[in-house]
Structure 1
Amino acid sequence: MSEWARENVPLLTAICSVAALAVVFGAVGGAIPSALFPRASDAVLAAIPHFNAAVSATAIGTIVLGWRAISRGDVRRHRAFMLTSFGLFTAFLGAYLYRLIHVGTTEFPGPEAAYTYLYLPFLGIHILLAICCLPFVFHALLLAATRPYEELYHTRHAQVGLVAAVLWLISFTMGIGVYVMLYHAF
């Protein structure tokens, strides 16, 4: 990576975070027209939540394995697992937004009390954690992308990466909880 990128990781983190959130909020708010993307079959659209639950479970595994690898000093495996985790996150988000743009949000099928006192607070915390983890994930990735691994020990990569991993794990786990409430529990 260029010297400019290396010296401007915080700025690049902010740009990536704002851009990602703009796409997400644009899709949620209906600002991205569905005509921009060809519509998949109803069967494919119906399969996306199940696909995303599997992706989330796999990402939980890769994050834990990446954490384990670095705790054992295996930088190569750590890097591979964390890049895989980011790829899974990207696949999840792409599929989620694609379905959201074409189908909209999924209505909660359970009783009003469960919706009000269980589902909404749970979903709200999940969304908040997903939003909060983005800058940490981007910052850790950008630090790693702009430096040889020996230099990462002289940065905040480990601290930022730890926060990112914890928020990511909780968010992915809660996302599976949201999936279970929407498609299986009620």
Structure 2
Amino acid sequence: MQLQARDNVPLLTAVFSVLALGAVFAAVGGVIPTQLIPRIDGLIAVIPELNVAISLTAIGTIIAGWRAIRRNAVDSHRNYMLASFGLFVAFLVFYLYRVSLEGPTAFPGPATIEQFVYFPILGVHILLAIICVPLLIYVILLAVTRPIEDIYTSRHRSVGQIAAVLWLISFSLGIVVYAMLYVVY
């Protein structure tokens, strides 16, 4: 199976990306039947704060992973980046759970701030998150389908650098969105 996956990384990236993004758009679009999802109100109430904690932790693990690979600490890099991806998945699962049951959160502040500040920040955050999904899947598939020495001759580094920067910006903007929704207004 590993040889087949190794030879089909772009195809697998496309398939997994469509599935992941399809789940997001289905949840946001209200397509997922809510009667199939168990409702845990206590969990729903803390998901925004939980996702901020996850985002802050992910920012830390992404930076630590980046620093580890600069020191040529490949095992540490792998562990940090897998932890970052796990945090991203946890964030996404909690977000999808909440938005499936509650819908997107309305901006509670002034319309002018919403139109000229909140929506642009939210839009960039969402766009980067969408772009990150296939990039992250691609670099992870490259990493898990090749021996370490072969990764250096793949596009893992070049795509990974772009993915990490966009990922950091997306997580950071997500925290700004949280602050605008739940702290400032």
- Range into which the TM-score falls when normalised by the shorter chain: over 0.9
Partner of 1:7: 7
How far has the Cα of 1:105 moved from its partner?
A: 1.1
DSSP-derived class of the 2:146 partner:
coil
Segments of 4+ moved more than 4 angstroms: none
Partner of 2:172: 173
Shift of 1:37: 1.4
- What's the C-alpha RMSD, in Å, of the aligned pairs? 0.7
Provide TM-score, normalisation by structure 2: 0.98
Q: Which residue of 1 aligns with 2:99?
A: 100
Corresponding residue of 1:18: 18
Residue 66 (structure 1) shift: 0.2
Pair 1:117-2:122 in alignment:
no
Letter in 1 for 2:98: R
Q: Which residue pairs with 1:36 in the alignment?
A: 36
**What is the count of residue pairs matched by the alignment?**
185
Q: Which residue of 2 aligns with 1:126?
A: 125
Moved more, 26-35 or 69-78: 26-35
Structure 1 distance, partners of 2:144, 2:36, is 32
- d(CA) in 1 for partners of 2:105, 2:139: 33
- Aligned-residue sequence identity (percent) comes to 57
Deviations 1:71-106 (A, max 9, x none): 000000000000000000000000000000111111
What are the within-5 Å matches in structure 2 for residues 115-154 of structure 1?
115-154=114-153
Q: Which runs of 5+ in 2 are unaligned?
A: none
- C-alpha distance in 1 between matches for 2:132 and 2:90: 17
CA–CA distance in 2 between the matches of 1:16 and 1:122?
Answer: 27
List alignment gaps of at least 5 residues for structure 1: none
What's the TM-score, normalizing by structure 1?
A: 0.98
1:132 is paired with a residue whose SS is helix
